[in-house]
Amino acid sequence: MLTKPDVAPAQAPDQTGARVRDQRQMHYQMLPHARPGGMAGLLELLLDKGGSDDIYRLANDLAFEIDDLLPIVDAAQLLGFLKVEEGDAAMTPSGTEFANSEILRQKELFRDAALEHILLLRQIRRALESKSDHTVPEDFFLDMLDEQFSEEECLRQMETAVAWGRYAELFDFDAGRRRFVLPDAQEELAASEAAE
């Protein structure tokens, strides 16, 4: 196709029944650097305003710089809690449920949204579930991220992923060993170390 741009490409072979890998899933989303509590606060504010508001007006009402509010808006949108069109943020049904829920239900909703929408968190959880000791080193995921992000941004992405994953109780993070751990595996590890 590149050497003969005026020639129509041949039809792709029939792939009926063949599993095609979705190339979009091979790229990591840029996780906005926002805390789950910040998203919860934003959604509660929007709920009080009838479920939607102009982002710039909201920032002005809160005496925020728009650049401080946008990562929170982007994170809520990425998780499917908000839709943003022409500068207006409107809560989705899942965002409304999140804002109206108690903390334990909010964590469940956040966990479901994170697993559905965030490739990195989904991969961390699956890797932990597949390992016999249910632990995976942080470097494994940093090596994958560094194909797409700078070294500094890899660390920031990982920091955000850890905060979101811990909030959603998808995994724990052992900062001393720099390892992800399934919550139950962390308890078993602590019990076995105490027994020794």
For all residues of the chain together, what is the average pLDDT? 86
Residue 118 has pLDDT above 60, yes or no: yes
Integer Cα distance of 114 and 123 in angstroms? 11
**What is the reported pLDDT for 195?**
64
- For residue 136, the SS3 value is strand
**What is the reported pLDDT for 75?**
97
Residue 21 has pLDDT above 50, yes or no: no
Q: Report yes or no on 13 lying in a domain.
A: no
Q: State whether 152 and 94 are in the same domain.
A: no
State residue 53 phi and psi, 5-degree precision. -170, 160
Q: State whether 129 and 184 are in the same domain.
A: yes
Integer Cα distance of 188 and 135 in angstroms? 12
- 55-74 per-position pLDDT tens digit: 999 999 889 899 999 999 99
CATH of the domain at 67: 1.10.10.10
- Domain count within the chain: 2
Print the domain residue range for 191: 118-195
pLDDT: is 54 or 26 the higher one?
54
Residue 2 has pLDDT above 60, yes or no: no
Q: Report yes or no on 23 lying in a domain.
A: no
